[in-house]
Structure 1
Amino acid sequence: MNSEELFYTLALQHVPNLGDASAKKLIRKFGKAENIFKEKKSSLLKISGVGQVRIRELFDTQHLKAAEKELKFIEAQNINCHFYQNEDYPERLKHCLDGPVLLFSRGKIQIKNRKLLSVVGTRQITNHGTSFCEKLIEELAPLDPVIISGFAYGVDITAQKAAIKHGLQTIGCLAHGLNQIYPKIHKKYMQPIEENGGFFTDFWSSDKFDRNNFLKRNRVIAGLSEATIVIESAEKGGALVTADIAQSYDREVFAVPGRASDKFSSGCNNLIKSQKAHVLTSAADLVYILNWKLSEAPKAVQKQLFVELDNEEQQLYDFLKVQGKTELDLVALNCSLPTFKTASLLLNMELKGVVRPLPGKLFEVI
């Protein structure tokens, strides 16, 4: 897609209330976005489902000005743009009526002819949820799937860190433009994820951060993959919305069952009870339902007993093993290391699976 085509497609995407489905309908009718802006209003009004209000909005020159500004940002930041009719656009997302006309990415994403799985759930993941999620990714590792999630607290980042630990590609779907990051505390994971996959979004750099964006983002998470896995969820939550969207796309949904008394199992139990999701107790359930080749079934993976640590990482590990949960600043002080370097070392150790962060900037060995 050349700059001129991208410019007019951006302008079309900027039209409020038009929506991706209507934008695609106009592109199909007139061939490309540029032709739409040069077409007579009378011809546009003949397209069913578009309406006078949307057509009137289309000819507001602010969309062209906004597109010019966003195009400069895209080119300056070397952001990849994926048009829904092009070969580099995610194949499964092409089949979603409301899939983004334009999708933006950063990183080293390679998903053609790959197994794609979305893993979602509560931001308040429990110890049980963490253990199950990490074990599931470990069991799936021999199948080399791409793990997709929302880069949020809880289940999302747990799944993505586990993917990196086991050498799997992982993709974070963002609810904002590529000029910012949320939550900010996850900034430390950006580089590892970009080196092992990357980020997708259909939001612009000029889009204001809004919690309603998460609902729009969820359709990308659900649309990219062949199955969505809900690890833990309360009775209401964004993960359940993602599961509903996945089901509407005729994709498989899996949910991890839990005790009736557990708050963050109620959403999963309800999905299973209402037959909106398959029961997921291990990777074998997923392999069977998705009809993956038995020859590709997960093999038992022996837990790595000895992780290679450098001298400074070993020093931090030995200290935490003796002291238990300790604040970052105290770890740095007792190990005679700068705080910034300690934070970097702990991140590497976290990705190696030997320490884990806790609320309040605490760390402990696993």
Structure 2
Amino acid sequence: MLQDEILYSIALRATPNIGDVYFMKLIEAAGSAKEAWHLSKKILKEIRGFGPKIIKDIGNDDFLKFAEKEMIFCEKNNIKIKLKHQNQLPKLLSQCEDAPAIIYQKGEFNENLIPISIVGTRNSTLYGKNFIEELLALLKNKNVLVVSGLALGTDGCAHTEALKNNISTVGVLAHGLHILYPSQHKKLSQEMIEKGGALITEFNSTNKPDREHFLQRNRVVAGFSGVTIVVETAYGGGSMSTVSYANQYNREVFALPGKITDKYSQGCNLIISQNKAKIINKPQDILDELGLNEEKNNIPNLFEPKTIKLNKEVQPIYDCIAENKQISLDDLSEKLQIPPFKLLPILLDLELKSYIKALSGKQYCI
């Protein structure tokens, strides 16, 4: 029964030293959370990477009792419990190896919408706010879902502007659903749920908004969407970790550039210069990336892709990239059986000649 699987999943995930990756290893070994819970210590020791410290508390009834209380809490508060190994997580998030084993969700959103993550500083400026207003006005009626962290500043502005334009929006929290942080956003969060959005979190009802939880939250924000937009951030801003996760997941990242003297543009300028994010020249760039720019889409394609003749060493590399919408350096290396260090100077030369484009996450396209 699914309810049993939820119960044992919560108990297993609440067990000390059992994080999301170890949780999934147990599922792979046992087939289900319930079966994993009842494995003998002898069998547990045979699972690669599972030492005495990790297996010590698996099967402890205290965590099963906690799971029962958690399920009662969720039922009383209309919170859905979704399991990764039951394929219940949002599609793109479920593809991440370190995605949460369990998601707690309050509210409902249409999973067929195109998710876009918008992140940035809590100290947002008028420059950043104006960009978000313009972008979300353009995204009205475009079947998108705005994802952010419900924090003050950029996050709150993204959620608010989404609602103004009748765009569903999801807030990813760094704590359990027994509280709402920051409290200033309680009314906003209720409106998000009422208007076809949701609050989601990997944290149970005992977890507070501790500092380390925000970094964990950022990987969910990055993994949820195919595109992450960084509006404003300082060098050491939390959004920089979101960018790192998005790059790791080979997701597209865009950043809004600003003056080098503006503190909350310096992080954006840095990741653009490091090729970790594409530069945003105008809000329409985002629509182009998502294929939502109707004016552009209505222009007939009058030209075939250029046929470029290169030397016999370079031609197979160019052709391989041309055959794919986009391809990573590692995949290119594997297909062509050429080491990455030999490919990089050739790719750079092709890029400088405008034959190919280099994308974030070491991805290439024509």
Q: TM-score, normalised by structure 1?
A: 0.78
Residues in 2 aligned to 1:199 and 1:293: alpha-carbon distance in whole angstroms: 26
In the TM superposition, residue 218 of structure 1 has moved relative to its aligned partner by: 0.8
User: 8 Å contact 1:139–1:298 — kept in the other structure?
Assistant: no
Matched, 1:80 2:80: yes
> Aligned partners of 1:188 and 1:298: how far apart in 2?
38
Structure 1 distance, partners of 2:295, 2:54, is 50
How many residues are matched? 297
Q: Name whichever of 151-160 and 102-111 sits farther off.
A: 102-111
Residues of 2 paired with 1:294 and 1:166: CA distance? 17
Equivalent residue runs for 1:80-229 within 5 Å: 80-111=80-111, 113-196=112-195, 197-229=197-229
Distance 1:50 1:295, change over 3 A: farther
Is residue 253–residue 278 contact of structure 2 (8 Å, CA) maintained in 1?
yes
CA distance in 2, matches of 1:110, 1:86: 19
The alpha-carbon deviation at position 298 of structure 1 amounts to 9.5
Cα distance in 2 between the residues matched to 1:83 and 1:64 = 17
The answer as to whether partners of 1:174 and 1:217 remain within 8 angstroms in 2 is yes
Partner of 1:12: 12
Partner SS state of residue 106, structure 1: strand
Greater shift after overlay, 134-143 or 144-153?
A: 134-143
1:60 correspondence with 2:60: yes
**Which shifted more, 160-169 or 203-212?**
203-212
Structure 2 counterpart of 1:72, one-letter code: I
**Contact 1:287–1:297 (Cα < 8 Å) also in 2:** no
Identity of aligned residues (%): 39
Contact 2:24 2:85 in 1 (8 A): no
Match of 1:281 in 2: 281
State the Cα distance separating 1:63 from its structure 2 match. 1.3
Deviation at 1:88, TM superposition (A): 3.6
Is 1:125–1:155's contact at 8 Å kept on the other side of the alignment? Answer: yes
Q: How does 1:298-317 map to 2 (within 5 A)?
A: none
Q: Is the 8 A contact 2:175 2:207 kept in 1?
A: yes
1:310 maps to none
Specify the code of the residue in structure 2 equivalent to 1:255: A
Shift of 1:2: 2.7
CA contact (8 A) 1:258 1:266 kept: yes
**What is the letter of the counterpart of residue 161 of structure 1?**
T
Task: Please tell me the residue identity of whatever aligns with 2:133.
Answer: E
Summarize the Cα distance change of 1:120–1:127 in structure 2 as closer, same or farther, 3 Å threshold. Answer: same
SS state at 1:189 partner: helix
Distance change in 2, residues 1:53/1:221 (3 Å): same
Q: Is 1:243 aligned to 2:243, yes or no? A: yes
Give the structure 2 partner of residue 255 of structure 1.
Answer: 255
Q: Distance in 1 between matches of 2:118 and 2:281?
A: 14
Between the aligned partners of 1:19 and 1:170, the Cα distance in structure 2 is: 28
Between 1:147-156 and 1:182-191, the stretch displaced more is 182-191
Distance in 2 (CA, whole Å) between partners of 1:20 and 1:297 is: 42
Q: 1:293 to 1:141 in 2, by over 3 A?
A: closer
For 2:125 and 2:145, the matched residues in 1 are separated by 24
Could you say what secondary structure the match of 1:85 adopts? helix
CA deviation vs aligned residue, 1:185-217 (integer Å, no higher than 9, x gap) = 111112210012011101111123312110111
The aligned runs of 1:285-300 (5 Å cut-off) are 285-290=285-290, 292=291, 295=294
Secondary structure class of the residue paired with 1:179: coil
CA 1:170–1:19 in structure 2 vs 1: closer, same or farther (change >3 Å)?
same
Give unpaired runs (5+ residues) of structure 1.
300-366
Q: Distance in 2 between matches of 1:78 and 1:227?
A: 30
Partner of 2:266: 266
Checking the alignment, whether the CA contact within 8 Å between 2:135 and 2:284 is kept in structure 1 is no
Contact residue 230 and residue 268 of structure 1 kept, 8 A: yes
CA apart distance, 1:297: 5.8
